[in-house]
Amino acid sequence: MTRIILTRHGQTLWNIEGRVQGRLDSPLTEKGLLQARSLACRLCNEGIQHIYSSDAPRARGTAEEILRELSLDKINVNPALREFSFGDWEGRVWGELREAYPEIFKIWDVSPHLVTTPNGESMEMVLNRSWNFIQRVLQDHSGETVCLVTHGLTLKLLVTKALGFEISDWAQTPWQHNTALNIFDVNGQEWEPKLVGDCQHLEEIIDPKP
C-alpha cells in the first residue's frame, strides 16, 4: 500500500485580488504562510518520506514549510504538477474576463471540461500530465508515503480522478481551498480515500491584521 497525500499551496496575493494565476505566480500572503505552517504541523505524524511540488514559487514555498517541519532532505520539483494554464487570461481579474469572453464563460460555467482557454490548456490536458506523473511517483515509491503540493484546479482534477469520477463530473468533488488536505491509500489501481478536501488545520488560524 502506498499513501498519497495531495494538497494545495497557501493563499496568495492574486487569490485575494481574484486574479487568474495559472502558470504565472504571485507571492504567498502572511495568511498563506500561516496556512502552510499549520498544514505542515498537521502532517508531522503522517510518516511522509518524500515531498513533490509544482515548480511555481507559491507551491514550492508551501512545500518548504512542510519540509522544514518534517526535517526531510529535499523537495522534488516537477512541472507536471503545475496549475491549469489559462494562457491569455493569466494575470487578469475573473470578473473582467467574464465581460470580455461571455460566450466562453457560458460553456465554462456549465461544462468547463469542454473549454480550452485562449493559448492555454483544457482540463483533459492538465489531468493527463498530472495523473501520468503520479503514476510514476507510485512506481518509484511503492509502499511509501508521499506528499504532493500542487494547485487548485489541478488538485481538484486529480481528486476527481482518484475518486473514480470522469472529468465531466468534476463538480461532484469538493473545491480544494488553500492547503486543503487529501489522503489516499493506493493498492494497484484502487484508490481508497481517507480524507478529501479537509481543512481542519485552518480552523484556529486568526487572520493577520492589515
Catalytic machinery residues: 9, 151
Distance (Å, rounded) from C-alpha 190 to C-alpha 159?
Answer: 13
Nearest to 149 by CA among 86, 60, 34: 60
Q: What Å distances lie between residue 204 and 45, 55, 62, 190, 201, CA to CA?
A: 19, 29, 18, 34, 7
Distance (Å, rounded) from C-alpha 38 to C-alpha 66?
Answer: 9
